[in-house]
Amino acid sequence: MAREKSSKMNIAVIHPDLGIGGAERLIVDAAVELASHGHNVYIFTAHHDKNRCFEETTAGTFPVTVYGSFIPRHIFYRLHALCAYLRCLFVALCVLLLWPSFDVILADQVSVVIPILKLKKSAKVVFYCHFPDLLLAQHTTFLRRMYRKPIDYIEEITTGMADLILVNSKFTASTFANTFKHLDGRGIQPAVLYPAVNVDQFKEPNSFKFNFLSINRFERKKNIELAISAFSMLQTFEGDVLQSRDASNASLTVVGGFDKRLKENVEYLEELKNLAEREGVSNRIRFITSCSTAERNALLSECLCVLYTPKDEHFGIVPLEAMAAYKPVIACNSGGPVESIKSGVTGFLCDPTPREFSQAMFQLIRDPQDAEKMGREARRHVLESFSTKTFGQRLNRYLVDIRRGKKD
């Protein structure tokens, strides 16, 4: 499909924290692709650490402007949502007051900025909703519920003010409808725009090791302990089969985004290390924090497969990256991975139990040629449905249409 020709637009992208993660990867891909379509793209954020970011944000393809980094991320490890709102509101105010008008403004994750951005009369505002924040937040105590009530209300009201709402999967679209019932009742429905992966960065590997790879931020919701427990359970299978494949020394590498500013990152990493000790496999598990893209790609090239452990993940960019790197993926049978992984063809969708994951891992160790075959099918699948080129064409079409006043 040839790239669509369209008039050049000035596009602003607003993102809370331009670090390393699936949401950040999508925003960076969006900026790169929109720039490649001839648009002038500007990213605005409250935090951008050049030592912990995707390389494209420092390459000069588009400028990254930081406003509000002085506003804290939390107050004594509490009020994270309020602080995130304040930081993003400050960014939006700076864009409103200090910059000329944009044709389209793409707001990511935090919807509270939309009313401010709508004050730029000539600009169309597109909101990308990865998942309703009110479902991610804890409502466990009376105080938390009182704290979240106005925030949750504001989220729904401001989300509905966007000219166009995009979500990252059909799973998120259905969750959106069930969560924001007032918006659904008014006929406000999001369009699905799947995230993508740059397939050109991955080459077909010449060989592999009997290494399993987990890639995720060090957050408890990522359920990384499932990978450790499943790896430990491998030892309960037939040892002679493992030995015959020279896989008795199979290993697990746990790598992911790590920010020492975040208490959860620090605590969870220590919890995982302690779990590996208790399971008796600490000598065969390697933990790596915040590696570069090149280092991650090298790890992907060398591994047998990738373990993706979050349950009910909204979409999940890691499975796409793994499949683009010719690797099968073992993931939970829920959420976004159900839409991106073909079970039995490009990987395995399993119940989120150590036994289920371990059985799938054992199957790949027992028949590594099948793992290679699945990896080739995985690469073909990503090329057809989830490449950055396809993503860029679809996003460009949405923005061009909304600029012209079309909703569909």
**Same domain for 90 and 160?**
yes
296 band by pLDDT with thresholds 50, 70 and 90 = very high
The mean predicted confidence, pLDDT, of the chain is 88
Q: What is the pLDDT of residue 259?
A: 82
**Same domain for 280 and 159?**
no
Top pLDDT among 136 and 220 is at: 220
**Same domain for 222 and 177?**
no
Find the mean pLDDT for residues 256-262: 83
Distance (Å, whole) CA 18 – CA 36: 20
Query: Among 235-244, 284-293, 366-375, 383-392, whose mean pLDDT is lowest?
Result: 235-244
Give every CB contact of residue 77 below 8 A, 6+ residues apart in sequence. Answer: 263
CA proximity to 369, closest of 181, 223, 207: 207
In a domain, 306, yes or no: yes
Q: What is the pLDDT of residue 260?
A: 82
**Same domain for 171 and 279?**
no
Is the pLDDT at 211 greater than 90? The verdict is: yes
Containing structural domain, residue 299:
199-385
Find the mean pLDDT for residues 373-378: 97
Is the pLDDT at 186 greater than 60? The verdict is: yes
Query: Among 243-257, 291-305, 344-358, 369-383, whose mean pLDDT is lowest?
Result: 243-257
In a domain, 5, yes or no: no
In a domain, 17, yes or no: yes
CATH number at residue 150: 3.40.50.2000
**Same domain for 184 and 220?**
no
Is the pLDDT at 148 greater than 80? The verdict is: no
Distance (Å, whole) CA 199 – CA 389: 10
Distance (Å, whole) CA 337 – CA 333: 7
**Same domain for 392 and 353?**
no
In a domain, 408, yes or no: no
Top pLDDT among 305 and 178 is at: 305
pTM check: above 0.85? no
In a domain, 163, yes or no: yes
Q: Which one-letter amino acid corresponds to residue 311?
A: K
Contact between 251 and 210 under an 8 Å Cβ cutoff? The reply is yes
Q: What is the pLDDT of residue 153?
A: 74
Q: What is the pLDDT of residue 1?
A: 41
Is the pLDDT at 331 greater than 80? The verdict is: yes
Residue count (the chain)? 408
HSE-CB at 348 with a 13 A cutoff on CA atoms is 18
Count of domains observed in the chain:
2
Top pLDDT among 76 and 377 is at: 377
Give per-residue pLDDT as tens, 18-38.
888 778 888 999 999 999 999
Query: Among 112-116, 137-141, 220-224, 361-365, whose mean pLDDT is lowest?
Result: 137-141
Q: What is the pLDDT of residue 154?
A: 83
135 band by pLDDT with thresholds 50, 70 and 90 = very low
Q: What is the pLDDT of residue 209?
A: 87
**Same domain for 180 and 303?**
no
Find the mean pLDDT for residues 145-153: 65
Terminal Cα distance for the chain, rounded: 20
Give per-residue pLDDT as tens, 65-121.
999 988 887 777 667 777 888 899 999 999 999 998 899 999 998 899 999 999 987
Q: What is the pLDDT of residue 89?
A: 93
**Same domain for 42 and 138?**
yes
Contact between 89 and 136 under an 8 Å Cβ cutoff? The reply is no
Contact between 33 and 396 under an 8 Å Cβ cutoff? The reply is yes
Q: What is the pLDDT of residue 28?
A: 93
CA proximity to 327, closest of 319, 316, 335: 319
**Same domain for 114 and 230?**
no
In a domain, 319, yes or no: yes
Is the pLDDT at 284 greater than 50? The verdict is: yes
Give per-residue pLDDT as tens, 193-209.
999 998 999 999 988 88
The dihedral through the CA atoms of 168, 169, 175, 180 has a sign that is positive
**Same domain for 44 and 65?**
yes
**Same domain for 58 and 119?**
yes
Distance (Å, whole) CA 108 – CA 127: 6
Q: What is the pLDDT of residue 266?
A: 92
CA proximity to 289, closest of 270, 314, 316, 313: 270
Find the mean pLDDT for residues 310-333: 94
Q: What is the pLDDT of residue 406?
A: 61
Q: What is the CA radius of gyration of the chain?
A: 22
Q: What is the pLDDT of residue 130?
A: 80
Contact between 281 and 232 under an 8 Å Cβ cutoff? The reply is yes
141 band by pLDDT with thresholds 50, 70 and 90 = low
**Same domain for 178 and 35?**
yes
Q: What is the pLDDT of residue 113?
A: 93
Find the mean pLDDT for residues 158-180: 90
Please give the structure tokens belonging to residue 98. Answer: 């200090």
Q: What is the pLDDT of residue 132?
A: 54
- Name residue, tokens 């990256």: 321
In a domain, 289, yes or no: yes
Is the pLDDT at 124 greater than 80? The verdict is: yes
In a domain, 4, yes or no: no
